[in-house]
Each structure stands twice: as structure tokens, then as C-alpha cells.
Amino acid sequence: MSIAGQVELENASQSIPATMLAAVYRGVNDVRLETVPVPKIGPGEILVRVHTCGVCGTDLKKIATGSHAAPRIFGHETSGEVAAVGEGVGKFRVGDRVVVFHHIPCRTCYYCRHKTFAQCLTYKKVGCTAGFEPSGGGFAEYVRVMDWIVEQGTVRIPDEVSFEQACFVEPVNTCMKGIEALRLTPGETVLTIGQGPIGIILSVLARRAGATVITSDLYAERLKISKSLRFERTIDASQQDVVSSVRERTEGRGADAVILAVGSNALIRPAMDAARPGGRVLLFAQTQHGEVVIDPAAVCVDEKALVGSYSASVDLQEESVDFVMNREMDLEKLISHRFSLRDAAQALEFAAHPQPASMKIVIQPAGAWNGSRQAEGSQQ
């Protein structure tokens, strides 16, 4: 490392505290605000001071089911500022504004060669941590980003783009992967079941692919948000039968493709019923193992295809970054509630029991960004 680089690292290190606040998962539905050591970084690594971390449904399911051993610090939709750089890091400097992916595959194994990156053993290794077993770490003040993520999964945020907009890069990538799996062609009709933030992003991307999109949700408030994004073909599932309504709008056939953006397994059968013969159904939110009842003849005789998509694709990294940073969609509008890190447990509880008007929930370390270049909205 050059003398200038050593001085920069030493100066940065002097401003980094020894301890920090973090929302620590201690067991099923047990997340506690604790003081933990700020993670140490090694060669090739960076330390990121967290500005915004989105709350993802997969983290909520891990917390609710106890599927992962405690203790852990979750949170992976992370944007922030580089607070320190390790020896040998040349791509980033202290003060750079960045967003990080927490998974990057090896690109050479069997699964990578077959483009199923989420099954790669390297991909399954989480490359960001705030302590304990690496689990993303975004629900803390600082995150250690490991070397392979620094090289291949850390993206600089343009000055004109907010931290809040940037934190959507990873979820947008997962949605792009799902849309790619559906193999949509222009002119097809797509039904999106669920108009939470992910359902809306999936709907926008389906329309971007040339599809005519019908949206449905149980909450009229969410359909209003959907309509504000020019989705006029809506179905209020609390008032109408979704399957019948879709068939009425498609000459009795059903949708060419159905996106299930709600975690309920009970909706898999209705989603299949809403698809036309030869249509496709994307399971996007079914991340917990279990059993469901389906009609096997719908797959065999009616030739309907069930398609799964999980996590992000490295092949779509550049496209997802461009989509977010070029503001093809104003993703900040999807944020309904902002919580300080001190209120992280409340934020996670609120996100796990969404209200009709709640959308994307984000956690932002309290007081950490007063006077920031990109000062965000007030707490709600």
C-alpha cells in the first residue's frame, strides 16, 4: 500500500468506534438491540458505514422460523459509505458511496455453468457481515465486505442517486431474474398476484418486457399505489374472484403468465387456475419447504408450467444497476416507513405484519447521517 493509502486508512480508522449498535437475532422472533464490536477488515476488504438497509421477506422468514442458528445479524439490501479500506483495495476509497451484493458465485462450477447461480456453493457463502456467522449484516452501523464481494459485488453510487434508491439494486436483480425465467414475449398478458413492493417491481419489469399487466391484491390501498404507476387493469381480490376476472379479460383463456408475489402457499392453486393452458406460473415468494396440493393434470394435460426463481443473478448485475441508478423506476416511492436502528426490532415486527398502506420498510442507523450529502426523508 502506498504511503498516501496508509495515511488515509489510519485517519479513517481513528474515526471508527470500537463498538456499534446492531439488531442481533437471538432465536425465533427474538431480535435484540445490542452493542457489538465493529468488525475488523482484512486485506482486500472494506468496511461500510450503513446508511439504509431494506427489510427483505427472506430475513423475516428466517427470524420467524428459526431456520438459521443464532446469533446472527441479518440485512442484505445495504447501501452506505466506505469507512475503511483494507490492504490491496484499489477500486474504492474512504468516502465512496456504495451498494453491496451479499452473494457472488464462483462462475466456474457445475451450477454456474448451467446459470443456476443460487445453487453455487460459493454463492451460498455470504460475503458481508457485521459479526457472528456472516448473514448480510445490514441491520448494524457497520458492515465488513469480504474480498470477493469487494471485487465483484460492490457498486459505486452516482452522486445524484440517493442511498434509498440504491438499496433496491439487489431486490431489483432478483425480480429481473424471475421475469427472465418466465420468458415473456411482447403482447402477452401477465397477472401479478400481490402488489407489495416486490409485486410492483415485478409488474413494472413485466410491462418493460412488453406484457400487458393485470394486478391483484386484497388491499385497495396497494392497488391505488399500483394505479399511480399506470397499472389500470386491477383486481380487488377482496371483492372479486381473481380467476374469473382474469378469464373474463382474456376471452376465457386465462393469463399467459402468472406471477405469485405473495408467500402464501394456499395461493399456488389459484395462480395455476388463473393461467391459460400452456401458460406459466412463477413462484417468487415460496422460500419455505413444505407441501401443497396441486392439480397434476393442469401440468400434464393442460401443459401449464410451474417456474421457480430465487435470489439474484450475476448475469443481470449490470442491467439491474443501470435500471436503479438511471432511475427507470422511482423506487424511493415504494418506501412507506423508515426506522432508526434503535427501533429495528419494531421495524421487523411491523414488516412481518404489514398493514394495507405499508410498503417497503427500511432501517437507517439513528443520527449517523446528519448533514449527509444525501439526507433522506424523516422517520415515519
Provide mean pLDDT across the span 122-131. Answer: 97
The pLDDT assigned to 15 comes to 86
pLDDT tens per residue across span 162-194: 999 999 999 999 999 999 999 999 999 999 999
Of the chain, the end-to-end C-alpha distance in Å amounts to 44
Beta bridge partners of 144: 47, 129
State whether residue 334 is helix, strand or coil: helix
Q: What is the identity of the amino acid at 89?
A: V
What are the pLDDT digits (tens) for 75-112? 999 999 999 999 999 999 999 999 999 999 999 999 99
DSSP 15-65: TS-SEEEEEEEEETTEEEEEEEEPPP--TT-EEEEEEEEEPPHHHHHHHHH
pLDDT number for residue 1: 47
Every domain of the chain with CATH number 3.90.180.10 lies at: 3-161+327-364
Query: Is the bond leading into 71 cis (omega within 30 degrees of zero)?
Result: yes
pLDDT of 376 higher than 50: no
359-371 b/e (C-beta count within 10 Å ≥ 16 → b): bbbbbbbbebbee
Task: Quickly name the fold that domain 174-308 has.
Answer: Rossmann fold (3.40.50)
Average pLDDT over residues 130-150: 98
Q: Are 57 and 352 within 8 A, CB to CB?
A: no
CB 61 within 8 A of CB 34: no
Confidence of residue 373 (pLDDT cuts 50, 70, 90): very low
Per-residue CA distances from 94 to 128, 197, 284, 326 (Å):
18, 32, 37, 24
Q: Return the pLDDT at 288.
A: 83
Does CATH number 3.40.50.300 belong to domain 3-161+327-364?
A: no
Q: Does 246 have pLDDT greater than 90?
A: yes
Please state the pTM of the whole predicted model.
Answer: 0.92
Residues of the chain with CATH 3.40.50.720: 174-308
Cell 471508527, residue?
Answer: 16
Question: 261-287 pLDDT, tens per residue?
Answer: 999 999 999 999 999 999 999 999 998
pLDDT in tens, 142-160: 999 999 999 999 999 999 9
What's the chain's average pLDDT? 93
